[in-house]
Amino acid sequence: MKGEAMIELRNVSRQFGDITAVDNLSLRIEKGEICVFIGTSGCGKSTTLRLLNKLIDCSSGEIWVDGENVAKLDSELLRRRMGYAIQSTGLFPHWTVARNIGVVPRLLGWPADKIEARVRELLELLSLPYTAFAAKFPSQLSGGQAQRVGVARALAADPDILLMDEPFGALDPITRESLQNELLRIQAHIHKTIVFVTHDIDEALRLASRIVVMDKGRVVQYDTPQNLLNNPANSFVENLLGQGERGLKRASLQRVEQFMLPLSGEPPSLDIETGSSLRQALSLMLWHRVDQLCVRGPDSSAQGVLPISAVLHSHE
Ligand SMILES: Nc1ncnc2c1ncn2[C@@H]1O[C@H](COP(=O)(O)OP(=O)(O)O)[C@@H](O)[C@H]1O
Ligand SMILES: [Mg+2]
């Protein structure tokens, strides 16, 4: 077995009357992963998250978190160890941003100065300057700012696990992309185990270390974004990926420096930065009608050359 399981579901089912929302789910989520659940509306994603933090109980099966069976844990205490961010943010409208973020630390009895320092740290982490935002009320925030506050609140007591249920679902595409980048940037520092629900395949491919594709309460495929694109388990997954778009989706996961060749002679006149995706490289080539790019590092030094043939053979 590789890695260490932070969360493990063993044959978990949850019924609501006649409806089986979650159907015999077994899954291991390793420490430090971003595990993204994706599937059509009603397939059981939110129910799974609510089972994890015991907002609801399993009808059968077991959930283990960090080596403990959650059935044996107090649900309030468990919830304080897991941050929870949702689409509607759930911020208290008559509380300031600072008070909203500090809600769990207050419940945990932290002293006031420690709470204030933590709120300050989190606001800065989420690119919301403390002096401008701490005293604002939720109604004074844009959708993107409110979601950032929701994420800050979920992180407030430094939980090991972060549960996120379509947190960016209501945002416009540009704000959504900047919050996705923000989440990846933050995760590189905090290394939480993140369980993230979305119905947007591009969001899933972008954020996930592993993706759980769900349909009718069951796991259809559990794999890395690369493997999902290269080997979709069945036509349901193929459709989810959008067959005609697969090439571009895969190219957006691959970095130019993985495929560039050593420079020989004059570098090509058109540049692309390291860290850019093959999709961006392809788009530049199409736009400028060139068949090779010079890959340059952050210091502008030429690192290599990316010919279109390297892009075409990138899946091998
Ligand atoms: N509290 C509830 N009572 C009754 N049915 C529910 C409840 N919560 C979820 N369901 C049903 O369970 C199924 C899965 O719902 P949900 O987990 O919210 O799906 P998703 O988040 O993937 O859209 C749906 O059929 C939904 O109607
Ligand atoms: Mg849902």
Q: What is the pLDDT of residues 151-199, one digit of tens each?
A: 999 999 999 999 999 999 888 888 888 889 889 989 998 999 999 999 9
- Ligand 1 in reach of 44 Cβ (< 6 A): yes
- Ligand 1 in reach of 46 Cβ (< 6 A): yes
Mean pLDDT of 97-120: 95
Asked whether 134 and 96 are in contact (CB, 8 A), the reply is yes
Is residue 1 very low, low, confident or very high in pLDDT (cuts 50, 70, 90)?
very low
What does the pLDDT read at residue 169? 87
What are the residue ranges spanned by the domains of the chain? 5-249, 254-312
- Ligand 1 in reach of 300 Cβ (< 6 A): no
Mean pLDDT of 138-142: 95
pTM > 0.85? yes
* Residue of the CA atom closest to atom 8 of ligand 1: 47
Q: How far is the CA of 27 from the centre of ligand 1 (A)?
A: 20
* Residue of the CA atom closest to atom 1 of ligand 1: 16
Q: How far is the CA of 99 from the centre of ligand 1 (A)?
A: 31
Q: Which of 101, 109, 12 is nearest to 54 (CA)?
A: 12
Mean pLDDT of 79-107: 92
Homologous superfamily of 5-249 in CATH? Answer: P-loop containing nucleotide triphosphate hydrolases (3.40.50.300)
Residue 314: pLDDT over 50: yes
Residue 230: pLDDT over 60: yes
Sign of CA dihedral 96, 100, 106, 112: negative
Nearest-atom index, ligand 1, CA of 37: 22
Q: How far is the CA of 199 from the centre of ligand 2 (A)?
A: 9
Mean pLDDT of 282-308: 95
Q: How far is the CA of 200 from the centre of ligand 2 (A)?
A: 12
pLDDT in tens, 62-86: 999 999 999 999 998 898 889 999 8
Backbone angles phi, psi at 60, to 5 degrees: -155, 165
Q: Is 54 exposed, middle or buried (0-12, 13-18, 19+ CB in 10 A)?
A: buried
Q: Which ligand is nearest to the CA of 214?
A: 1
Q: How far is the CA of 119 from the centre of ligand 1 (A)?
A: 34
State percent of the chain over pLDDT 90.
78
> Among 12, 13, 14, 16, which is best to mutate for testing ligand 1, by the most ligand atoms less than 8 A from CB?
16
- Tell me the three state secondary structure of residue 311: helix
* Residue of the CA atom closest to atom 9 of ligand 1: 47
Q: Which of 47, 55, 51 is nearest to 20 (CA)?
A: 47
Q: Which ligand is nearest to the CA of 88?
A: 2
Q: Identity (one letter) of the amino acid at 162?
A: L
Q: How far is the CA of 199 from the centre of ligand 1 (A)?
A: 15
Asked whether 62 and 73 are in contact (CB, 8 A), the reply is no
Q: Radius of gyration over alpha carbons of the chain, in Å?
A: 22
Is residue 242 very low, low, confident or very high in pLDDT (cuts 50, 70, 90)?
confident
Nearest-atom index, ligand 1, CA of 44: 17
Q: Which ligand is nearest to the CA of 52?
A: 1
Angle of the 143-155 helix axis to the 173-190 helix axis, nearest 10: 20
- Tell me the three state secondary structure of residue 180: helix
Q: How far is the CA of 289 from the centre of ligand 1 (A)?
A: 50
- Ligand 1 in reach of 47 Cβ (< 6 A): yes
Mean pLDDT over all residues of the chain? Answer: 93
pLDDT in tens, 206-216: 999 999 999 99
Domain covering 254-312, topology: CBS domain Like (3.90.1280)
What does the pLDDT read at residue 173? 85
What does the pLDDT read at residue 20? 97
Pairwise CA distance, residues 254 & 280, whole Å: 10
Q: Which of 256, 303, 302 is nearest to 279 (CA)?
A: 256
Q: Looking at the chain, which runs of residues are DSSP E strands?
A: 5-16, 19-30, 34-38, 60-65, 68-69, 82-86, 161-165, 193-198, 210-215, 218-223, 271-273, 292-296, 302-307
